[in-house]
Structure 1
Amino acid sequence: MLKPNKPINNISMKILHILLTILISLGTLPAISNQYNVYSPNNFNDAIKQENQKERILFILDLSNSMEEPLENSTKFNLMINTMSQILPQISPDTWIGLRVYGQRMGFTPLEACRASRLISPINSNNNQNIENALKKTKPRGMTPITYSLKQAIKYDFMGFSGKKHIILLTDGGENCDESPCTFVMNLIKIRRDVRIDVIAFNINDSEDLEQLECTALVTSGKFYNAQTSAELLNGFNNSIDGVKNVEAKILLPNN
């Protein structure tokens, strides 16, 4: 038969108090708290601040009708999809990433076609698979409103994030709706410096288009890649996400 627990007497309470005092004086309790990520009032705000300061990444991908053009026994669109399927699993799930596309619809008027830009996967952590699934449901259809997409992304997609903002833009052509994205970012950096834009020019041969896209990247301290092949496309994405890849992740480039 179980006996009822005896109440803790004064001597036991004194012993317990002494043990706790020793642990605190030796710094054992803070060590235990840190080991199990137990936040105190002093470090909770710091943890929130560090989380808000993390870099957010937004992919902006081209779904204009020219992405249906053939390349390497496939289409540029399919090569982009395959490349993203290789890239996304390499990104650490703790990284906040999102996806905006443009040219996903044609529209009944030129103005409507030039406003075809949509955030199809808002920026979040553990978002890799959501982005891949959303992208596979899209089809190339319309125009190339790059500048409008950048404006929407900076104004709305990063709303509430105070840290660094990293845009990875892929396009197979230059702006054909609005002002040059180069002109836009030249004005942007006059008022803010928290946005970096990497640009991947995919299978573009027009020198003026390449110049405006390279300018867009360099003005924002981003990287510019002139990718003529799927291997170069993969390399461009790989370099752009280099800082947020899983430690054990490796991307195998296709054989030349």
Structure 2
Amino acid sequence: MRKKLTLGILTAMVLSLGSPAFAAEKKQEVTVAKDAPNIAIMLDASGSMAKKMNGVSKYELAKNEAFSFGSKLENTNVLMRVFGSEGNNKNSGKVQSCNAIRGVYGFQMYDEQSFRNSLNGIGPTGWTPIANALQDAKNAFDQLNSNGKNIVYLLTDGEETCGGNPVKVATELRKSDRDTVVNVIGFDYEGDFHGQLTSIAKAGGGEYFQAKTKNDIKKIFTQEAIELSK
């Protein structure tokens, strides 16, 4: 009797796994529409992001809001890059840091556990290679076989410190074959509002957002997620 019961359960499981409903559900988890937007989140992990706000580093605050933003995105390809997370913020670590663009999460639908795991062991360390980060985003977009709009969210607390020209790269992104926009979030940024970060957003056809607190980032990402869902 026990053997028959076990066999029946296994048979039911096999049939359910092979059912059209299960197949459709599984397919939905791994694919997005051909014209779905492609979102590239570029997160600053330079040494200045180690500064604490209410006992928590700016990097951790920004990272957690990036997680929350990703969870709100449906039918969307999401990519995450972290820049400046290697070497150190001294001259001895500049070359390594300025070339440290870590592709932690390649273009795919958002999966919370994978997204969170992708940033394990990464912390704020070095310099700020914004131009290299934007170039990396451009390279990733160029490899996509998609008709969707390309959107960059560059989250940083400072300007380029590696000698690159991020305004030029943002311009190239904007002029690419696909409809591409570069948005910039200046987190606890103490520079001139009309400085480089604003110029990057303008050259990229996007917006510059000023975020003084974690809640400011949350509001920005929440509103952007709403706009993307329309």
TM-score (norm 1): 0.68
1:130 offset after TM fit, Å?
1.7
1:195 offset after TM fit, Å?
1.7
Residue equivalent to 2:200: 216
Distance 1:215 1:128 in 2: 33
Which is greater in Rg?
1
Distance 2:65 2:172 in 1: 32
Amino acid at match of 1:106: G
CA contact (8 A) 1:122 1:157 kept: no
Residue equivalent to 1:57: 39
CA contact (8 A) 1:96 1:127 kept: no
Q: In structure 2, which of residues 59, 74, 80 is the aligned counterpart of residue 77 of structure 1?
A: 59
CA contact (8 A) 2:130 2:164 kept: no
Distance 2:67 2:35 in 1: 28
Q: In structure 2, which of residues 160, 166, 178 is the aligned counterpart of residue 175 of structure 1?
A: 160
Instruction: Determine what percentage of the aligned residue pairs are the same residue.
Output: 25
- Is residue 239 of structure 1 aligned with residue 223 of structure 2? yes
Amino acid at match of 2:62: M
**1:165-219 residue CA offsets vs partner (Å, 9 max, x unmatched):** 11111001100013331233235445546221111000011117x5211121122
Unaligned runs of 5+ in 1: 1-35, 37-47, 248-256
Count of residues paired in the alignment:
197
1:121 and 1:157, CA in 2 relative to 1: closer, same or farther beyond 3 A? farther
Residue equivalent to 2:81: 100
1:166 and 1:223, CA in 2 relative to 1: closer, same or farther beyond 3 A? same
Distance 1:181 1:98 in 2: 19
- Is residue 135 of structure 1 aligned with residue 119 of structure 2? yes
| 3-state SS of paired residue (1:57) | strand
CA contact (8 A) 2:86 2:126 kept: yes
TM-score (norm 2): 0.75
Distance 2:186 2:71 in 1: 23
